[in-house]
Amino acid sequence: MSAAQLKYREEPMAEIIDGRAVAKQVEAETKAQVDAMIAAGKPRPGLAVILVGNDPASEVYVGRKIKKCAEVGIRSFEHRMPADTSEPELLALIATLNEDPEIHGILCQVPLPKHIDTGLVLRAIAPSKDVDGFHPVNVGRLSTGTGGIIPCTPLGVMKLLDTVIDDLTGLDVVVIGKSNIVGKPIAMLMLEREATVTVTHIHTEKLADLCRQADVIIAAAGAPRLVRGYWVKPGAVIIDVGINRMKGEDGKTHIVGDVAFDEVQHAKAVTPVPGGVGPMTIACLLANTVQAAREQIDGTSSDGFDIDWDDLPDRSMFTSESAGA
């Protein structure tokens, strides 16, 4: 990592990246965008939140999202459905919301009850209203660098990194975890920024050795204290996405990350758990809703993958490398 790429500090201890503070900034920017839309006579952004069943954790998450919407001026529309809601009933609601001009974003809280096909439901949401960024059209856009809606947690990770690294070009990044909602989109975002990315997972051998080479480690495995101090080279930046519930010696349940936080003080910067990536996820959901609303209102959104092939930065990715040989 070159000195020019880091914002250096004097203190010897790792900088703790304050996710709550960065999330507040994102929320303030989002509120300013909503205010500007209203001042320009545009409709207020609207988010539909669907909750099927009464999973206690989901109830808490949905409640938080609705409260945050109100704080930044987004209208929220809560749709609570009983646990025995059928798949066709849920799909019918999504079809109605897809057509509703007051709704710019649709969020279906997961996990869904077992009798419902989650993939089918998430694919039924119009890509232009898919504020979670899980629809294959948005995944395809992200993978080809052609816009779309970026999943909230990966977007939050990038915003946190931006507070400590000016330029990711050429840096070695190790992503631990390859899930569709966290690891893979983070890897794509890193590649867009010209980083050299290694995506690792449960079957990766010599994970510690790979991490020791890394300028940036993104831990998204769901494995408590997986990343130990000796895995981290001095001056590396660590983003801990993991959320693990552990019983402490006091018998109480604590939330810990994937990083042994107390062992990585020789890092350049690290996110705490809680108070790191977590608060960014909701802030980015709000930002995505306003982005979706702006694009729908301005007529620049699309539910297909109707990209202009000639405008792509690198057409070689769509052609066989050996085609001209």
Residue (46 or 172) nearer to ligand NAD, CB: 172
CB of 281 to ligand NAD, least distance (A): 4
Nearest in space to 144 (alpha carbons), one of 284, 300, 305? 305
Residue (103 or 269) nearer to ligand NAD, CB: 269
Binding site for ligand NAD (CB under 6 A): 153, 176-179, 181-183, 200-202, 204, 207, 220-223, 226, 241-244, 277-278, 281
Active site includes 132?
yes
Cα distance between residue 65 and residue 53, in whole Å? 17
CB of 144 to ligand NAD, least distance (A): 22
User: Length of the chain in residues, anyone?
Assistant: 325
CB of 211 to ligand NAD, least distance (A): 10
Nearest in space to 104 (alpha carbons), one of 68, 72, 131? 131
Determine the residue type at 188.
M
Determine the residue type at 220.
A
Active site includes 5?
no
Residue (179 or 302) nearer to ligand NAD, CB: 179
CA distance readout (Å), 60 to 2, 4, 64, 182, 252: 43, 42, 6, 21, 19
Which residue is catalytic, options 33, 68, 109, 240? 109
Which residue matches tokens 């909750």?
A: 51
Nearest in space to 160 (alpha carbons), one of 219, 267, 256, 239? 239
Which residue is catalytic, options 68, 129, 130, 132? 132
Residue (51 or 103) nearer to ligand NAD, CB: 51
Both structure tokens of 171: 């840096």
Active site includes 247?
no
CB of 153 to ligand NAD, least distance (A): 4
Catalytic amino acids? 65, 109, 132
